[in-house]
Amino acid sequence: MTASSGQLIVLVGPAGSGKTTLAHRLIAKDPLGRGFSVSHTTRAIRSNEIDGKDYHFIDRANFEHLIASGDFVEWATVHGNYYGTSRASIVEHVSAGRELFFDIDIQGAFHLFEQFSEQTRLVFIVPPSWQVLVSRLTARGTETTATLRRRLQTARKELEGLLNSALPWQIVVNDVLEEAIGDLDQATRTAKIELKHRALLEQMLQAAQADARAAS
């Protein structure tokens, strides 16, 4: 990989779609040439997470200071918490010719593409159906009725945003993990939504719109 080939692989998709798992599996195949963007967040750390590896966990005052200082390429409020991407980290990886993977929301993806369009690949990760998404979220055993509603509402809005987007998205369906890993590897080299994937997204959106839990 040459210095000019550094890329930002931006993964967007509903909670439970497996974005982080897919990214880390690909990174493990080439740990020197690939890395994971560690975002800053104000949400509470979970028992299985490590500060500096999963996220940089900071308080709201420090986060807002970094916003004011222009240290974030993009930032957003998601489910009441701040999330942001460090500008310095992006420049470092791209300059070194590495692939840097991101797990961010769709608005963050738009901001990254605006600022690094030549280096950015946009990939939307989805389960094979809306019903599978709901099943995966409920199977985790960590969602309350309120948090499940918020995640489903966010998923519906992301599907709407993607189908109305003019940006060069690629779609990866995470059904069988090993196949999805291969599809994601291939997606980093192309940038289009195939017709079969558009049909899947439209079916998922129809199911989301019919799901009362996903209503705004």
The CATH number of the domain holding residue 10 is: 3.40.50.300
Average of per-residue pLDDT values in the chain: 90
**Residue 78 placed within a domain:** no
Domain count, the chain: 1
pTM over 0.85: no
| Residue 1: per-residue pLDDT | 38
CA distance 184 to 171: 8
Give the per-residue pLDDT at 171.
Answer: 92
In a domain, 188, yes or no: yes
Residue ranges, the chain, pLDDT below 70: 1-5, 190-193, 195
Alpha helices by DSSP H, listed for the chain, are 19-29, 60-68, 87-95, 106-115, 130-139, 145-163, 177-187, 195-210
Q: What three-state secondary structure class fits 193?
A: coil
Residues contacting residue 195 through CB under 8 Å, at least 6 positions apart = none
pLDDT value at position 195?
67
Q: What is the pLDDT of residue 196?
A: 76
Q: Which residues pair with 173 in a beta bridge?
A: 126
- 24 in a domain, yes or no? yes
**How many Cα atoms within 13 Å fall on the side-chain side of residue 187?**
31
In a domain, 16, yes or no: yes
